[in-house]
Chains A and B, each alone.
Chain A
Amino acid sequence: GAVVSQHPSRVICKSGTSVKIECRSLDFQATTMFWYRQFPKQSLMLMATSNEGSKATYEQGVEKDKFLINHASLTLSTLTVTSAHPEDSSFYICSARGLAGSDTQYFGPGTRLTVL
């Protein structure tokens, strides 16, 4: 299947700093990328949908000024958690959809963010 990479895989930062997470589709062009967050023992929660070259669409309750998403190319989307706080500690996972006619999403390996 298609390959999606995510970097970094793990990050620990101090409260108040910003963290950038990259999501890349390695062997296909992803017209749409999704960012999810998953707290322990809970389901994946969609944060936002990003289409290449346009503004991301955020889910209700997700602050767009805190979670900045950039989808500058067909193979790269970034999520920046600005002024991170301990409650932002979570597992952030991106997925990509791009194969024509397919609803299948391919997930990156995730980034575990810990804010101290």
Chain B
Amino acid sequence: RKEVEQDPGPFNVPEGATVAFNCTYSNSASQSFFWYRQDCRKEPKLLMSVYSSGNEDGRFTAQLNRASQYISLLIRDSKLSDSATYLCVVTHVYTGGFKTIFGAGTRLFVKA
């Protein structure tokens, strides 16, 4: 089982739609959680951190459920420019350092 799993998609949605992605992680000791966005042939860019209390940034809402070990990302009122791959990222501490695990990403296509 992968440490971080995401539905690869693609999700094809019309402009204005609301779309949600989920991501599950296997290490219950994971400490930090993030959503990154990666455009085709570009580097990942931090979208937002994820907290148990929820985190909202404009049209984007992220949520962490530690009991079920999943995080979610909700995008409201989708724009064409939201088309990208969304990466779920989890970090955990182990003896000797900390490790960051990337999910394989969920592809989103927003169409006019």
Contact = CB atoms under 8 A, between A and B. Distances in A.
B34 A104 contact: yes
> What bracket does the count of chain B residues touching chain A fall in?
20 to 34
A34 B32 CA distance: 17
B40 to A, nearest CB: 10
Contact of A44 (B42, B49, B87, B97): B87
B104 A103 contact: no
B43 A109 contact: yes
A37 to B, nearest CB: 12
Interface residues of A, number: 19
Contacts of A112: 41
Nearest to B107: A41
Interface string B93-112: 00011111011110000000
Given A43-B87, A44-B87, A105 B43 contact: no
Contact of A110 (B31, B42, B46): B42
Interface SS of chain B:
strand
Interface in A58-116: 91, 93, 103-110, 112
Nearest to A57: B97
A108 B43 CA distance: 7
Most chain-B CB neighbours within 10 Å: which of A1, A49, A108? Answer: A49
Contacts of B16: none
Contact of A49 (B32, B91, B97): B97
A43 B102 CA distance: 7
Contacts of A34: 100
Given A44-B102, A57-B96, A104-B34, 9 more contacts: A1-B46, A43-B102, A43-B103, A43-B105, A44-B87, A57-B97, A103-B91, A104-B49, A109-B42
11 contacts: A34-B100, A42-B104, A44-B44, A93-B44, A104-B49, A107-B45, A109-B42, A109-B43, A110-B42, A110-B43, A112-B41
Interface of B: 31-32, 34, 41-46, 49, 87, 91, 96-100, 102-105
Interface of A: 1, 34, 42-44, 46, 49, 57, 91, 93, 103-110, 112
